[in-house]
């Protein structure tokens, strides 16, 4: 699975028209709605905008990762927008953001969301890929860049930490405290 698996050509905006947080989130929200990733535009827009005003997702690398976790969303996805000029972004109004990933997150999706965020963080560290994203002439080349970031997937992320409790021959479980004290479980 790659970053490209969570977006599509209709969710990529090469030249953002919005010049501030509200305008960009509106533009990207409309793309998610148009592509049927977000069923109700206004609630999604308001949740994403409120969250972004509460805690800015701007990063030093000229990227921002606003998101909304909302009922009614069926699949984790994102819209990507690229600004021709740096945008005013965040509470401090720095003019440094040019790449924006607006994520639509289903309420119960935690594992895939964390995997997506991890992939985006790795992308942010790859100067060469960021340069390719900024210079890509079309959506096809942007998708090619996104396909280069493999996401770590694990159907049971904590499986290696699950340790069965000891039991006796009848299957009665006793706690490690009993075992550690040299006691056997009571039958």
Closest CA to 129 of 111, 152, 146, 112: 146
Q: How do residues 109-154 score in pLDDT, each as one tens digit?
A: 889 999 999 999 999 999 999 999 999 999 999 999 999 999 987 6
Q: What DSSP assignment string belongs to 20-43?
A: SHHHHHHHHHHHHHHTTS-S-HHH
Cα of first residue to Cα of last residue in the chain, in angstroms, is: 49
Q: Are 149 and 142 in contact (CB under 8 A)?
A: no
Is 169 in a helix, a strand, or coil?
coil
Separation between Cα atoms, residue 78 and residue 66, nearest integer Å: 10
State whether the Cα torsion 139-29-37-70 is positive or negative.
positive
Which of 3-7, 24-28, 50-54, 158-162 has the weakest average pLDDT?
Answer: 158-162
User: The whole model's pTM is what?
Assistant: 0.80
Q: How do residues 94-120 score in pLDDT, each as one tens digit?
A: 558 999 999 999 999 889 999 999 999
Report, at the CATH architecture level, how domain 3-153 is classified: 3-Layer(aba) Sandwich (3.40)
Q: How do residues 169-178 score in pLDDT, each as one tens digit?
A: 444 444 444 4
123: number of Cβ within 10 Å? 20
**pLDDT tier, 179 (very low <50, low <70, confident <90, very high otherwise):** very low
Separation between Cα atoms, residue 168 and residue 184, nearest integer Å: 8
Separation between Cα atoms, residue 68 and residue 17, nearest integer Å: 21
For the chain, the average pLDDT equals 84
3-state helix, strand, coil in the chain (%, to 5): 40, 20, 40
């Amino acid at each position: 699975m790659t970053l490209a698996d969570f977006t599509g050509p209709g969710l990529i905006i090469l030249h953002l028209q919005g010049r501030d947080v509200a305008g960009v989130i509106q533009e990207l929200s409309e793309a998610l709605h148009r592509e049927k990733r977000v069923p109700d535009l206004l609630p999604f827009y308001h949740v994403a905008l409120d969250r972004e005003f509460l805690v800015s997702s701007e990063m030093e690398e000229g990227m921002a990762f606003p998101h909304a976790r909302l009922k009614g969303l069926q699949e984790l996805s994102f819209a990507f927008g690229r600004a021709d000029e740096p945008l005013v972004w965040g509470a401090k109004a720095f003019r440094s953001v040019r790449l924006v990933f607006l994520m639509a997150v289903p309420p119960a999706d935690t594992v895939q969301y964390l995997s997506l965020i991890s992939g985006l963080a790795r992308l942010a560290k790859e100067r060469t890929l960021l340069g390719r994203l900024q210079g890509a002439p079309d959506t096809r080349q942007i998708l090619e860049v996104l396909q280069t970031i493999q996401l770590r997937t694990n159907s049971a992320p904590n499986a290696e930490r699950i340790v069965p409790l000891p039991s006796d021959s009848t299957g009665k479980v006793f706690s490690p405290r009993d075992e550690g004290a040299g006691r056997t479980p009571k039958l």
